[in-house]
Structure 1
Amino acid sequence: MIRGVLTVGVWTLASRVLGFLRDMLIAAYLGAGPVADAFFVALKLPNLFRRLFGEGAFNAAFVPAFAATLTVQGQAAARALAERMATLMTLWLSVLTVLAILFMPQVMRVLAPGFVDEALRFSLAIEMTRITFPYLLFICLTALVSGVLNGLDRFAAAAGAPVLFNLLSMGALFALSPFVSTPGHALAWGVTASGVAQFALVWFAAARAGMPLRIVARPSLAPEVRQVLRKMVPGLIGAGVTQLNLAVDVIIASLLPAGAVSYLYYADRIGQLPLGVIGAAIGTAMLPLLVKQLRGGLPLSAHRTMNRAVELSLALSLPAAAAQAALAWPIIAALFERGAFGPEATVASSAALVAYAIGLPAFVLVKSFVPGFFARGDTATPVKIGLLAVAMNLALNLSLTPFLQHVGIALSTSLSAWANAGLLAWLLWRRGLWLPDRRIRQRVPRLVLAAAIMTAALLALRLAIGAPADHAVRLATLALYVGVGLTTYFGAAHLLGGLRLGELRALRRRR
Structure 2
Amino acid sequence: MRSRFLAGILSVGGWTLASRVAGFLRDLLIAAFLGTGPVAQAYLVAFSLPNMFRRFFAEGACNTAFVPMFARRLETGDDPRGFAEAAFSGLFTVVLAVSLLAHVAMPWLVALQAGGFIGDARFDLAVSYGRICFPYILFISLTALLSGLLNAGGRFVAAAAAPVLMNLVLIAAMLLAARRGWDMGLAMAWSTPVAGIVQLVMVWGAARRMGFALRLRGPRFGPDMRRLLAVAAPAVLAGGVVQVNLLVGRQVGSFFDHGIAWLSNADRLYQLPLGVVGIAIGIVLLPEIVRREKTGDVAGARHATNRAAELALLLTLPAAVALVVAAEPLISVLFRRGAFLEADVGPTALALAIYGVGLPAFVLQKVLQPLYFAREDTRAPLRFALWSMAVNAVVALGLAPVIGFSAAALGTTVAGWSMAAQLFAGSRGLGEAARPDARLLRALPRILVASALMGVVVWLVMAALRDALQAPGLRYLALMALVGAGSLTYGLAAWALGVLRPARAS
* TM-score past 0.5 threshold: yes
Deviation at 1:390, TM superposition (A): 0.2
Is 1:493 the counterpart of 2:494? The answer is yes
2:470 aligns to what SS in structure 1?
A: coil
Is 1:30 the counterpart of 2:34? The answer is yes
Alignment of 1:305-324 (within 5 A): 305-324=304-323
Give the match for residue 509 of structure 1.
none
- Unaligned ranges ≥5, structure 1: 505-511
Is 1:131 the counterpart of 2:135? The answer is no
Give the match for residue 265 of structure 2.
266
**101-110 or 383-392: bigger deviation:** 101-110
Deviation at 1:499, TM superposition (A): 2.2
Alignment of 1:459-470 (within 5 A): 459-467=459-467, 468-470=469-471
> Structure 1: how far apart are the matches of 2:403 and 2:41?
19
- The sequence identity of aligned pairs, in percent, is 42
Give the match for residue 233 of structure 1.
233
- Please tell me whether the aligned partners of residues 381 and 423 of structure 2 are also in contact (alpha carbons under 8 angstroms): yes
Give the match for residue 403 of structure 1.
402
> Structure 2: how far apart are the matches of 1:201 and 1:329?
38
Give, as a single letter, the amino acid of the residue that structure 2 aligns with 1:360. L
- Please tell me whether the aligned partners of residues 277 and 363 of structure 2 are also in contact (alpha carbons under 8 angstroms): yes
Give the match for residue 416 of structure 2.
417
Can you list the C-alpha shifts for 1:28-59, whole angstroms capped at 9, x where unaligned?
00101111111110111110111111123321
Alignment of 1:81-480 (within 5 A): 81-118=83-120, 120-177=121-178, 182-216=183-217, 218-256=218-256, 258-432=257-431, 433-467=433-467, 468-480=469-481
Deviation at 1:184, TM superposition (A): 2.0
- Please tell me whether the aligned partners of residues 443 and 499 of structure 1 are also in contact (alpha carbons under 8 angstroms): no
- Please tell me whether the aligned partners of residues 371 and 430 of structure 2 are also in contact (alpha carbons under 8 angstroms): no
1:86 aligns to what SS in structure 2?
A: helix
Deviation at 1:471, TM superposition (A): 3.7
- Please tell me whether the aligned partners of residues 177 and 186 of structure 1 are also in contact (alpha carbons under 8 angstroms): no
- Please tell me whether the aligned partners of residues 52 and 240 of structure 1 are also in contact (alpha carbons under 8 angstroms): yes
1:27 aligns to what SS in structure 2?
A: helix
Can you list the C-alpha shifts for 1:237-277, whole angstroms capped at 9, x where unaligned?
11111111111111222122x21000000000000000000
Give the match for residue 21 of structure 2.
17
- Please tell me whether the aligned partners of residues 54 and 140 of structure 2 are also in contact (alpha carbons under 8 angstroms): yes
- Please tell me whether the aligned partners of residues 292 and 301 of structure 2 are also in contact (alpha carbons under 8 angstroms): yes
Can you list the C-alpha shifts for 1:183-233, whole angstroms capped at 9, x where unaligned?
1221111221110000000000111122211111x2111221221111111
> Structure 1: how far apart are the matches of 2:289 and 2:224?
21
- Unaligned ranges ≥5, structure 2: none
> Structure 2: how far apart are the matches of 1:145 and 1:193?
18
Q: Which runs of 4+ in 1 moved over 6 A?
A: 178-181
**311-320 or 14-23: bigger deviation:** 14-23
TM-score (norm 2): 0.96
- Please tell me whether the aligned partners of residues 57 and 238 of structure 1 are also in contact (alpha carbons under 8 angstroms): no
- Please tell me whether the aligned partners of residues 152 and 287 of structure 2 are also in contact (alpha carbons under 8 angstroms): yes
> Structure 2: how far apart are the matches of 1:249 and 1:185?
25
Give the match for residue 12 of structure 2.
8
- Please tell me whether the aligned partners of residues 63 and 148 of structure 1 are also in contact (alpha carbons under 8 angstroms): yes
> Structure 2: how far apart are the matches of 1:2 and 1:14?
18
Deviation at 1:472, TM superposition (A): 4.3
Give, as a single letter, the amino acid of the residue that structure 1 aligns with 2:310. E
Deviation at 1:495, TM superposition (A): 0.4
> Structure 1: how far apart are the matches of 2:60 and 2:391?
21
1:339 aligns to what SS in structure 2?
A: coil
1:51 to 40, 45, 55: 55
> Structure 1: how far apart are the matches of 2:308 and 2:301?
11
> Structure 2: how far apart are the matches of 1:472 and 1:292?
53
Deviation at 1:470, TM superposition (A): 3.4
Deviation at 1:4, TM superposition (A): 0.9
**259-268 or 206-215: bigger deviation:** 206-215
2:69 to 62, 65, 69: 65
CA pair 247-181 structure 1, distance change in 2 beyond 3 A: farther
> Structure 2: how far apart are the matches of 1:98 and 1:463?
54
> Structure 2: how far apart are the matches of 1:96 and 1:178?
36
- Please tell me whether the aligned partners of residues 180 and 186 of structure 1 are also in contact (alpha carbons under 8 angstroms): no
> Structure 2: how far apart are the matches of 1:497 and 1:360?
24
CA pair 374-441 structure 1, distance change in 2 beyond 3 A: same
> Structure 1: how far apart are the matches of 2:347 and 2:399?
16
> Structure 1: how far apart are the matches of 2:503 and 2:319?
20
1:161 aligns to what SS in structure 2?
A: helix
- Please tell me whether the aligned partners of residues 13 and 273 of structure 1 are also in contact (alpha carbons under 8 angstroms): yes
CA-based RMSD of the aligned residues comes to 1.5
Give, as a single letter, the amino acid of the residue that structure 1 aligns with 2:449. L
Can you list the C-alpha shifts for 1:285-319, whole angstroms capped at 9, x where unaligned?
00000001111111121111111111111111001
Deviation at 1:430, TM superposition (A): 4.2
- Please tell me whether the aligned partners of residues 177 and 183 of structure 2 are also in contact (alpha carbons under 8 angstroms): no
Deviation at 1:399, TM superposition (A): 2.1
Deviation at 1:177, TM superposition (A): 4.9
Can you list the C-alpha shifts for 1:59-118, whole angstroms capped at 9, x where unaligned?
1100001000111125xx111111111111111111111111122112222221111122
Deviation at 1:469, TM superposition (A): 2.9
- Please tell me whether the aligned partners of residues 355 and 411 of structure 1 are also in contact (alpha carbons under 8 angstroms): yes
> Structure 1: how far apart are the matches of 2:203 and 2:192?
17
